[in-house]
Amino acid sequence: MQVKEADDGSGREARSASATLFTLGGIGAAFGVASCCGLPFLLASLGLSSAWLTGIALFAAPHRSTLLLLGAMCLAAGAVLLWWRRPTAAYAPGSVFSRPAVRGLTLVGLVLGLALLTIGYMYA
């Protein structure tokens, strides 16, 4: 039986999870913004069908400006938390979010979200 160490109260684990959750929220909002305009063009240029985006686009189109703002805020918060936890994450023993793979995937998610947000902004 493995005993988990007590939290030291610094909130490292919460910051780590928050960065990942903010990144996922930003990607979701950016996907909604890009689903009506830029994403179908991008997928069609890659030879992929984009008919499945119609339902998402119908829901997201009236809320475009809100989704743009929400996506930008979530991605910015995720980037700040990712940067803020960078020095302390190496010292969190056994933390699942301190692993380099999770940090790398969070960074890739931030870049993907920024790209989707840019596509959604430019093509509307």
In angstroms, the CA 92 to CA 59 distance is 41
Tens digit of pLDDT for each residue in 20-46?
Answer: 888 888 888 888 888 877 778 778 888
Q: Which domain holds residue 103?
A: 20-122
Q: pLDDT band for position 5 (50/70/90)?
A: very low
**7 lies in some domain:** no
Residue in the structure block whose two tokens are 């996907």 = 31
**114 lies in some domain:** yes
In this predicted structure, what is the pLDDT of residue 1?
41
**In this model, does residue 51 exceed pLDDT 50?**
yes
In this predicted structure, what is the pLDDT of residue 49?
83
Decide: pTM greater than 0.95: no
**13 lies in some domain:** no
**5 lies in some domain:** no
In angstroms, the CA 72 to CA 74 distance is 6
In this predicted structure, what is the pLDDT of residue 19?
79
Average pLDDT, the chain: 76
Between 7 and 118, the higher pLDDT residue: 118
Tens digit of pLDDT for each residue in 56-97?
Answer: 888 888 888 888 888 889 888 888 887 776 655 455 555 555
In this predicted structure, what is the pLDDT of residue 92?
56
**1 lies in some domain:** no
Look at the chain and report how many structural domains it folds into. Answer: 1
In angstroms, the CA 7 to CA 14 distance is 10
CA distances from 120 to 48, 57, 77, 100 (A): 18, 11, 19, 30
In this predicted structure, what is the pLDDT of residue 87?
55
In this predicted structure, what is the pLDDT of residue 64?
84
